[in-house]
Amino acid sequence: MTPELQSPPSARLAIDKVSKWFETSRGRVHALDNISLQITEGEFVCLVGPSGCGKSTLLNMIAGLELPGQGTVAAAGQPIKGPSRERMMMFQESALFPWLDAFGNVMFSLKRKPGLTDAERREIADYYLKLVGLEKFRHANIHELSGGMKQRVALARSLAPNPRVLLMDEPFAALDAMTREQLYGDLQRIWQQRNVTIVFVTHNVREAVCLGDRVVLFSPHPGRIREEFRVELSRPRDINSVEVAGYATRITRTLKEHMEHGAGI
Ligand SMILES: Nc1ncnc2c1ncn2[C@@H]1O[C@H](COP(=O)(O)OP(=O)(O)OP(=O)(O)O)[C@@H](O)[C@H]1O
């Protein structure tokens, strides 16, 4: 096995007193207000909250696609100044290249990774296609794949450069419930196997409880962290279990309380 396939130590993320404003035609939008969040190495953290509370903005900052207006965002002790292969992002839409097959899409993310031979790149791409359960679809055209399979290719593509941090912005929101359930199981297995830090954005409280070590609750206008919940359940977790439902009920109740107390959720 190429040494590249040994998982790297995953990164600690430090978000310190971060605020962010956007200038728009409707005026200044205060997207995030004084956010502080420490994420430990290998942790799985879910960000939950209603539309417009700044979850994606925070994810984009960790990805290095946006810079904070105030405060700092650091990975492994280094301030984040731009995108890096160490922090890969995955979105709701798979955004795969339709002119490449599944294998070609995964290979693409390894194209510019230095220090690898072509044989090693192929070995890595095959390893990740197998990890996401698509070894038999190596040469399938993208348009032949279901929505869930496309997201599996996108996951393999994000993992192939061996990032320390995986950033996931509602990656399963467009999928049907059964496909999502399979992916919850697979993502938990892959996360445990690859030792990667995951920050996962969702509107779905149950999904957050099923996946996260921690669920961080945001409120909007401006985006603030309201509360954090540590999920003390063993893995793999089943989204339909009584225990997951119990946590989800508590978190949803908290969301509603903030709404009633004028937090604008
Ligand atoms: N590039 C941008 N330019 C202007 N305003 C922006 C930009 N990105 C985000 N915003 C604004 O910042 C606020 C936070 O947006 P963001 O997309 O981070 O929220 P969100 O919680 O991810 O929402 P959703 O769940 O709907 O994706 C919103 O008011 C949004 O309109």
In testing the pocket of ligand 1, which one of 20, 22, 201, 202 has its CB within 8 Å of the most ligand atoms?
22
Q: Which of 175, 252, 258, 148 lies closest to 206 in space, CA to CA?
A: 252
| Least confident segment among 8-12, 76-80, 93-97, 154-158 | 8-12
User: Which residues form ligand 1's pocket by a CB distance below 6 Å?
Assistant: 22, 24, 29, 31, 49, 51-57, 223
Predicted local distance difference test score (pLDDT) of residue 210: 98
Residue 33: both structure tokens together? 């207000």
Predicted local distance difference test score (pLDDT) of residue 134: 96
Indicate where the chain has its CATH 3.40.50.300 domain(s): 10-86+164-260
CATH annotation of 10-86+164-260: 3.40.50.300
**Whether residue 265 has pLDDT greater than 50:** no
Contact present, 44 and 207 (Cβ < 8 Å): no
Given the structure tokens 């995951």, which residue do they identify? 198
Ligand 1 centroid from CA 219, angstroms: 12
Predicted local distance difference test score (pLDDT) of residue 113: 85
Mean pLDDT, all residues of the chain:
93
Q: Which of 260, 232, 261 lies closest to 246 in space, CA to CA?
A: 232
Contact present, 73 and 15 (Cβ < 8 Å): yes
Contact present, 248 and 85 (Cβ < 8 Å): no
Residue 7 or residue 19, greater confidence: 19
Q: Whose CA is nearest to atom 18 of ligand 1?
A: 54
Q: Whose CA is nearest to atom 12 of ligand 1?
A: 31
Q: Whose CA is nearest to atom 29 of ligand 1?
A: 52
Under 8 Å CB-to-CB from 48, ≥6 apart: which residues? 55, 202, 203, 204, 205, 208, 215, 216, 217, 218, 251, 255
Under 8 Å CB-to-CB from 68, ≥6 apart: which residues? 18, 19, 20, 32, 61
ipTM of the complex: 0.97
Residue 137 or residue 195, greater confidence: 137
Q: Mean pLDDT across the stretch 165-193?
A: 95
pLDDT digits (tens, 9 = 90+) for 92-135: 998 999 999 999 999 999 988 888 999 999 999 999 999 999 99
Total Cβ atoms within 10 A of residue 64: 18
Residue 28, helix vs strand vs coil: strand
pTM attached to this predicted model: 0.94
**Whether residue 261 has pLDDT greater than 80:** no
Q: Whose CA is nearest to atom 25 of ligand 1?
A: 51
